[in-house]
Structure 1
Amino acid sequence: MSVIKVDELKKSFGNEHALKGISFNVEKGEIFGLLGPSGSGKTTTIKVMTGEFNATGGHVEVNGTPQKHFGKTSYIKNLGILSDKSSLYERLTVKDNLELFQKLYNAPKNRVDEVLKEVGLESEKDKRVSKLSKGMKQRILLCKAVIHKPDILFLDEPTSALDPTTTEKIHDMLEALRDEGTTIMLTTHNMDEATRLCSNVAFLHEGVIRDHGTPADLRHKYKKNEIHLTHEDGQVETIERNQENEGRIKDAVSDKDIVDIRTDFPTLGEVFKKVTGKELV
């Protein structure tokens, strides 16, 4: 069942066309990745679906609610949102911050301790937010977004510029939420993150979806039927995988001069470059 339906969504700012008619669906309980570089339209898409922007054209429906009702409290209370505008009260402690939102969303009192444990910050709950590192603040912002166990979670670059350990903790938390039935809409330019987390992804570039599918399907779609043999001196020999080269491929397995054998199976980032002709920056 699709809980997010986007059909020919357009958004313009004056003469600038940020979204030029994009369409996609997100199924209940999946992590969907909207992937692309800065300026591609990812954040604009999120802001339309969370009621911050009105669409210029097209149709958007989230959890059965059409866009004209996105500003209503009854809609917002079932969402979790982590965006570039998410913030915390710097002078309050971590616990005080989260208790404010726990009460606002009428979540159980024990949720504060639960979410802090999930991100590994239960020992920091009495610290002022102003004393926390950037990575810690990002984890607390995620706690704030999920404290009420929302039906749908919108995440705009949730691990941008974070260290690998912090990123790993956030990934673990998102996978746990997904397993509990939360639908997650994720924007990122981190293709390794998308490969790990997302059931389906869409490549957004210059306001247009260039291709979409599962990460595995997209990687298979754009692979070449080639094998790369790396020699001991660093030279790479590329041969086409066909019957004519069958003998060379078999010989390479036992050739001591060959230190690495691999097929052309591109990463998601390499696929994005093939699709758009652009680096992901």
Structure 2
Amino acid sequence: MSACIELNQVGKTYAGVTALDELSLTIERGEIVGLLGHNGAGKTTTIKLILGVIAPTRGSVTVLGYSPRGKQSKSLRLQWGYLPESVGFYEQLTGREVLEYFARLKRIDRARVRQLLEQFTLAQAADRRVKTYSKGMRQRLGLAQALLSSPKLLLLDEPTVGLDPIATRDFFLTLDELRRQGTTIVLSSHVLPGIEQHVDRVAILDSGRLRAWGTLDDLRREAALPLTIRARGNWPDGFDPDHLPHAGISSYQYADNTLTLTIKREKKLTIMRELLADKGIEDIDVQAPSLETLYTYYNNGGDTGHA
């Protein structure tokens, strides 16, 4: 697998203020990467550097094998799609006219416009002016515009803003299909539970620096945060905690025939064996730290936030 995006020791300074500091990332072709961070963390600056809208103060940026600001920049732009956080279109144009305008710029057949209008449930509103569109409809139109060229690279900044739950589900199904087709997707979002099941790796930025980078399993191993075990069973006299090894259990709760344990990661198998040996056990669920929990951990500098 060859790299789609390479950022090597990239720094960006505005009027003496450092927006990015020594950022190095290699994003492979055909993966979905979550670009995470608070406002001002450096996400938008990173996206602008990848697009070639701005130049790095130091370091190098390569996209699909070329500099996004070099001689190949025009042909590169035909190979990527971009959805900004705030979508803006010509208000007097219809949805169809907007897509046809961008299709002409990218030399794309109008049949693709019809296909995308159907895909994003805009066909019935295609001939209405954009000024009559709701926020969710504008967002869907923006997604359709970003996908016009069947891009090799897709950059999305808060793409699910304004989408209802069904539209959000369909959007992520579309991303999963694009990944299967080999499209590289960089996704910036604050809705962490929504993207958790769909990203291959995540980059967590804070104050312009890369705090964490890897798969969720990589980050979970590195953070070594506790796991949560929920066990439901039939215990007429209640559950006796003396059946469990006390070492490795950080917290214990029992209510309504449900046992909730917070445990050290390395003690999972030992505690699971003890639970499975109990005749009253009916169901066990093990929950690893969520993306939201990992995000908070790394933004706190590796501190769980508990005393």
TM range (shorter): 0.7 to 0.9
Whole-angstrom CA distance in 2 between matches of 1:250 and 1:94? 58
Whole-angstrom CA distance in 2 between matches of 1:150 and 1:244? 48
Q: 1:59·1:67 contact (CA, 8 Å) conserved in 2? A: no
Q: 2:35·2:43 contact (CA, 8 Å) conserved in 1? A: yes
Structure 2 equivalent of residue 3 of structure 1: 4
Aligned residue for 1:196, secondary structure, equals: coil
Query: Shift in Å at residue 168 of structure 1?
Result: 1.5
Residues 1-281 of structure 1: matches in 2 within 5 Å? 1-69=2-70, 72-84=73-85, 86-222=87-223, 223-224=225-226, 227=229, 230-232=253-255, 238=262, 241=267, 249-250=275-276, 254=280, 262-263=285-286, 265-277=288-300
Query: Shift in Å at residue 196 of structure 1?
Result: 2.0
TM-score by length of 2: 0.80
Which ranges of structure 2 fall in alignment gaps of 5 or more residues?
A: 231-251
> Which has the higher mean CA deviation after the structures are superposed, 76-85 or 16-25?
76-85
Q: Deviations over 1:200-244 (max 9, x none)?
A: 111111111111111233234433266465422699554553798
The change in CA–CA distance for 1:244 and 1:197 in structure 2 (over 3 A counts) is closer
Query: Shift in Å at residue 179 of structure 1?
Result: 2.1
Q: Deviations over 1:146-170 (max 9, x none)?
A: 1111221111111135332221222
Q: 1:49·1:70 contact (CA, 8 Å) conserved in 2? A: no
Whole-angstrom CA distance in 2 between matches of 1:242 and 1:48? 43
The change in CA–CA distance for 1:246 and 1:212 in structure 2 (over 3 A counts) is closer
Q: 2:35·2:205 contact (CA, 8 Å) conserved in 1? A: yes
Which ranges of structure 1 fall in alignment gaps of 5 or more residues?
A: none
The change in CA–CA distance for 1:246 and 1:44 in structure 2 (over 3 A counts) is closer
> Which has the higher mean CA deviation after the structures are superposed, 18-27 or 215-224?
215-224
The change in CA–CA distance for 1:132 and 1:85 in structure 2 (over 3 A counts) is closer
The one-letter code sitting in structure 2 at the alignment partner of 1:224 is P
The one-letter code sitting in structure 1 at the alignment partner of 2:10 is L
The change in CA–CA distance for 1:244 and 1:116 in structure 2 (over 3 A counts) is closer
Aligned residue for 1:174, secondary structure, equals: helix
TM-score by length of 1: 0.86
Aligned residue for 2:159, secondary structure, equals: coil
Aligned residue for 1:69, secondary structure, equals: coil
Q: 2:96·2:113 contact (CA, 8 Å) conserved in 1? A: yes
The one-letter code sitting in structure 2 at the alignment partner of 1:254 is G
The change in CA–CA distance for 1:181 and 1:89 in structure 2 (over 3 A counts) is same
> Which has the higher mean CA deviation after the structures are superposed, 210-219 or 45-54?
210-219
How many residue pairs get aligned? The number is 276
Q: 2:91·2:129 contact (CA, 8 Å) conserved in 1? A: yes
Whole-angstrom CA distance in 2 between matches of 1:5 and 1:81? 18
Query: Shift in Å at residue 87 of structure 1?
Result: 2.0
The change in CA–CA distance for 1:225 and 1:167 in structure 2 (over 3 A counts) is closer
> Which has the higher mean CA deviation after the structures are superposed, 260-269 or 145-154?
260-269
Aligned residue for 2:145, secondary structure, equals: helix
The change in CA–CA distance for 1:85 and 1:224 in structure 2 (over 3 A counts) is closer
Q: Deviations over 1:42-100 (max 9, x none)?
A: 11100111122211111110011124418942232222111135421211111111111
Q: 1:51·1:70 contact (CA, 8 Å) conserved in 2? A: no
Query: Shift in Å at residue 101 of structure 1?
Result: 1.0
Instruction: Give the aligned CA root-mean-square deviation in angstroms.
Output: 2.8
The change in CA–CA distance for 1:93 and 1:220 in structure 2 (over 3 A counts) is same
> Which has the higher mean CA deviation after the structures are superposed, 16-25 or 60-69?
60-69
Query: Shift in Å at residue 118 of structure 1?
Result: 1.8
Aligned residue for 2:194, secondary structure, equals: helix
The change in CA–CA distance for 1:109 and 1:99 in structure 2 (over 3 A counts) is same
Whole-angstrom CA distance in 1 between matches of 2:291 and 2:28? 21
Whole-angstrom CA distance in 2 between matches of 1:237 and 1:170? 35
Query: Shift in Å at residue 17 of structure 1?
Result: 1.0
